[in-house]
Chains A and B, each alone.
Chain A
Amino acid sequence: MIQNLSYSKTAQHSLVLAALGIGLVLLGLLSITIGAFPIPFGHAVSILLSQVGIDSGTFTEQEANVLWQIRLPRIVLAILVGGGLGVSGAALQGLFRNPLVEPGLIGVSSGGALFAVIFIVFGSSFPWLGSVFGSFSLPLVAFIGGLINVMLVYKMANQRGKTDISLLILAGVALTALSGALIGLAIFYADEAALRNFTFWSLGDVGGANWDKVKIAFILILFPSLLIINQFRNLNALAIGENEAFHMGVDVQRVKYIVLFMGALVVGVGVSMTGTIGFVGLIVPHLLRLSFGADHRLVLPGAFLLGAFLLNGADLLARTVVMPAELPIGIITAILGSPFFIWLILHVKKLNS
C-alpha cells in the first residue's frame, strides 16, 4: 500500500514536470513563428536544425536573422526571467511561510529597480565598477538593491520565528514607496544622456533581449535557481515551523541566507534586464499547490517551468495584441495577476485551514 502511495507520488511529480516541460517547448516553438514578421513553422524548424548542421529545408536569410537575432534570445530570456521569478516566489513563500509573498510585493523588485536606476544615472561617476564587472555591473547592482530590501522586510516582519503578515505587506508597501520616491529623485538629478538610458531601460521589457543578456541571465538566474530548487527538503520542513525544522536537523539560518540571497539575485538580475514584472512569483506557486499539493520537491522546479511558460505566454500576447506595436509585458502580468491577488487575499484563510 505504502509502496504504491509513494510510488504514485513520485510518478505524479515526474509526470507534471514532464508535461510542463513539453508545454514550454511547444509554446516556445509557437512563439518563434508568430509575430509582426511571421515565419512559417517548417522554415523555423529548418533554421534551428541548420544551426546544428542538419540541412532540411528552405528559408530566407531574413527569416533566419529575425529568428536567430530577435525572437530566440527574447524567448530564452523570457524563459529564464519567468522561471526565476516563479521559483524565487515559491521559495520566498516557503521561507516566510506565507502564500501572499511575492518578490514585487515585498519590495525586492523595487529595490532592484532603484539600484538599477542609480547605476544608470550615476554609473558614470563610478567608472571602476564597469571596468571590473563589465556587462555584469547593472545586474549585480540591482541584486544588491533587491537584497537590501528583502533583508529589511525579513527583519521587520519576522519576530520570534513567526512572520507577521500585516507587517510584511506594510513593510513591502513602505519600501516600494520609498524606492519609488528615490527613483524619482535619481531621475531628477539625471542628465540628458542618463535620462535617455533610463527611459530605454524602463521600457525595455523582454523586447530588448540579445545573446549577451541571455548569457548573463543564464549564469546569474539559472544557477541560483538550481541552488534554490535544491533546498526543497528544507523548505518542506520549514512549512511546519522554524523551531520544528531545527529539531529535525535543518540548519535554518543557512536555508534563510541561501533563499534570501539567491532569491534577491534572481529577481534583481531579472529586473535589471526586463524592468519590474509583477505577479508571476505569486500566481505560479499557487496554481501548483492548488493542483498538485505543497511538496516543494514538485513546487520549486514546477514553478520554474510554469513561470517560464507564463512569462512566455504573456510576452506572446504583449507582442501580438497590438501588432506591429508592443505592450510592455508588465501590463499583461498585472492585468492577469491583480484580480488573482485580490481573490487570494479573500481566500487565504480558507486555503490555510
Chain B
Amino acid sequence: MLDAKHIQYYIGNRPIVNRATIQVLPGELTAILGPNGAGKSTLFRLLSGELSCKQGLITYNGQPLKGMKTRQLASLRAVMPQHSTLTFPFQAMEVVSLGLMYCRPNDPKMILKEVMSATQTWQLKDQLYGNLSGGEKQRVQLARVLAQIWEIKATPRYLLLDEPTSSMDIAQQHHIMQIIQQLKTRNIGILAILHDLNLAANYADKVLLLKQGKVLHQGAVRTVMTPENLQGVFDYPLSVQSNGPGAPIYISSLPSSATSSKNYTYKLA
C-alpha cells in the first residue's frame, strides 16, 4: 500500500498541501481531482519522492519513503510527469528502454515489445522522438514508465500519472485508461491526476477531491462524486447522471447563464 498520513507542504507560510491523508491500494485506480492550484501537482511530487515533506509520513508497502534509496524507490514506483522534453535525437525505442535501466528484468526485449504494443508505439520504435506528435510522445513516455514496473512480481508496485491523457484525442484517452485498467491485474496500484471528470468517474475505483491543499472528500466514485461535492470543490454547478449502479456516469456542466436559473436540478439516479 502507498500510504500518506497527514502530509503537509508549505511555501513560505502558505500551505500548498494541508494535512492530506491518502491510501493507494494495489489493484485500484485512485484519481485525484481538483481545480487549478488545488495542490494536485505538489501532492503528486511529494508522493513520488521528488519533494520531501516536513510533516507527515509517506510509506511504500510499509517502508518510509524518507531514507529509501533512489534505486529501491524506482523498483517500487514509476512516475509519468505531465511534460517531458528531450534535448537530443533519441529514437522512440531508446526512450522506452531507458525505463528498464535499473530494473534488470529477465527478458528486457519481451517487456519492451509488450509495453510498446500496449501503448501502440511499436510501429514508431525507429522514429526520432522529436519528430512525433504530442499524443505519440505521451504514449512513448507512458511506455517508458510502464516498462519500469511491467514485469510481474509479488511485491505491490505503484504507478503515478500526472494527467496522462492531456494531449490525446478521445479514442486514445479511452485506450490509455484501458491499459491502466489492465495494470491492476499486475498487482499495481495507480494514482492519477485527471482533468476529465467523466474519465475519472467511469474508470477510477476511488476518487479524491482536493481543494486549497486539503482533501475534502475521498472514497468510492459514487459516494464522492455527488453534484454537491463537485460544486463545492470546483465552484461551478455540475450535474451527475447515471441510470443505476452498474451504468455509466455522466457529468456535465452548462454555460453559467443557463445554470443561474434556480430551477436547475441535479439528478443522481
A positions within 8 Å CB-CB of B: 2-3, 5-6, 94, 97-99, 233, 236-237, 239-241, 243-244, 246-251, 289, 293-295, 351-353
CA distance A251 to B69 in the complex (A): 9
**A240-B98, A241-B81, A247-B79 given; A294·B89 CB < 8 A:** yes
Q: B130 contacts A352, CB within 8 Å?
A: yes
Besides A239-B90, A240-B144, A248-B74, 17 other A-B contacts (C-beta < 8 A): A2-B109, A3-B109, A98-B87, A99-B88, A246-B49, A247-B74, A247-B78, A247-B145, A248-B148, A249-B70, A249-B71, A249-B75, A251-B70, A289-B89, A352-B87, A353-B130, A353-B131
Q: B101 contacts A237, CB within 8 Å?
A: yes
Residues of B58-107 contacting chain A, CB below 8 A = 70-71, 73-75, 77-79, 81, 84-91, 93-95, 98-99, 101-102
CA distance A352 to B14 in the complex (A): 38
What are the 10 A-B residue pairs with the smallest beta carbon separation, nearest first? A249-B74, A294-B88, A249-B102, A247-B79, A249-B71, A97-B87, A2-B109, A294-B89, A294-B90, A251-B70
CA distance A33 to B131 in the complex (A): 47
Q: How far is the CB of A288 from chain B (nearest CB, A)?
A: 11
Q: Which chain B residue has the least Cβ–Cβ distance from A161?
A: B50
**A243-B81, A249-B73 given; A6·B109 CB < 8 A:** yes
A contact residues around B102 at 8 Å (CB): 248-250
Tell yes or no: B112 within 8 A of A by CB. Answer: yes
B contact residues around A248 at 8 Å (CB): 74, 98-99, 101-102, 148
CA distance A251 to B91 in the complex (A): 24
CA distance A240 to B113 in the complex (A): 21
Q: Inter-chain contact count A-B, CB under 8 Å?
A: 85
CA distance A353 to B93 in the complex (A): 17
A contact residues around B112 at 8 Å (CB): 2
CA distance A52 to B75 in the complex (A): 52
Q: B81 contacts A244, CB within 8 Å?
A: yes
Q: How far is the CB of B159 from chain A (nearest CB, A)?
A: 11
A contact residues around B144 at 8 Å (CB): 240
A contact residues around B98 at 8 Å (CB): 236-237, 240, 248
Q: A293 contacts B91, CB within 8 Å?
A: yes
Q: How far is the CB of A94 from chain B (nearest CB, A)?
A: 8
Tell yes or no: B239 within 8 A of A by CB. Answer: no
Q: How far is the CB of B175 from chain A (nearest CB, A)?
A: 22
26 A-B pairs with C-beta separation under 8 A: A5-B125, A6-B109, A99-B87, A233-B101, A236-B101, A237-B98, A237-B101, A239-B90, A240-B98, A241-B84, A243-B81, A244-B79, A247-B48, A247-B77, A248-B74, A248-B98, A249-B70, A249-B101, A249-B102, A250-B102, A289-B88, A289-B89, A294-B90, A351-B89, A353-B130, A353-B131
B contact residues around A99 at 8 Å (CB): 87-88
With most chain B CB atoms within 10 A of its CB, the pick from A2, A351, A352 is A2
Total residues of chain B contacting the partner, CB 8 A: 37
Q: Of the candidates B50, B95, B113, which one forms a contact with A246 in the assembled complex, judged by CB atoms under 8 Å apart?
A: B50
With most chain A CB atoms within 10 A of its CB, the pick from B78, B87, B88, B112 is B88
Residues of B36-56 contacting chain A, CB below 8 A = 48-50
Q: How far is the CB of B143 from chain A (nearest CB, A)?
A: 13
Q: Which chain A residue has the least Cβ–Cβ distance from B77?
A: A247
CA distance A250 to B87 in the complex (A): 18
B contact residues around A240 at 8 Å (CB): 84, 86, 95, 98, 144
Q: How far is the CB of A309 from chain B (nearest CB, A)?
A: 22
Q: B88 contacts A5, CB within 8 Å?
A: no
Q: Of the candidates A233, A243, A295, which one forms a contact with B90 in the assembled complex, judged by CB atoms under 8 Å apart?
A: A295
Q: Which chain A residue has the least Cβ–Cβ distance from B131?
A: A353
Q: How far is the CB of B42 from chain A (nearest CB, A)?
A: 13
CA distance A236 to B102 in the complex (A): 12
CA distance A289 to B91 in the complex (A): 12
CA distance A293 to B75 in the complex (A): 28
Q: B101 contacts A295, CB within 8 Å?
A: no
B contact residues around A98 at 8 Å (CB): 87
Q: How far is the CB of A298 from chain B (nearest CB, A)?
A: 11
Q: How far is the CB of A347 from chain B (nearest CB, A)?
A: 13
A contact residues around B93 at 8 Å (CB): 5
CA distance A128 to B129 in the complex (A): 55
Q: A250 contacts B84, CB within 8 Å?
A: no
Q: Which chain B residue has the least Cβ–Cβ distance from A253?
A: B70
A contact residues around B78 at 8 Å (CB): 247
**A236-B101, A249-B101 given; A293·B89 CB < 8 A:** yes
Q: B88 contacts A239, CB within 8 Å?
A: yes
B contact residues around A3 at 8 Å (CB): 109
Q: How far is the CB of A296 from chain B (nearest CB, A)?
A: 9
A contact residues around B99 at 8 Å (CB): 248
A contact residues around B71 at 8 Å (CB): 249, 251
Q: How far is the CB of B191 from chain A (nearest CB, A)?
A: 14
Q: Which chain A residue has the least Cβ–Cβ distance from B85?
A: A241
B contact residues around A5 at 8 Å (CB): 93, 125-126
A contact residues around B75 at 8 Å (CB): 249
B contact residues around A289 at 8 Å (CB): 88-89
**A237-B101, A251-B70 given; A293·B94 CB < 8 A:** yes
Q: Of the candidates B49, B90, B148, which one forms a contact with A293 in the assembled complex, judged by CB atoms under 8 Å apart?
A: B90
Q: How far is the CB of B5 from chain A (nearest CB, A)?
A: 23
Q: How far is the CB of B103 from chain A (nearest CB, A)?
A: 8
Q: Which chain A residue has the least Cβ–Cβ distance from B103?
A: A249
Q: A239 contacts B50, CB within 8 Å?
A: no
Q: How far is the CB of B26 from chain A (nearest CB, A)?
A: 19
CA distance A2 to B144 in the complex (A): 16
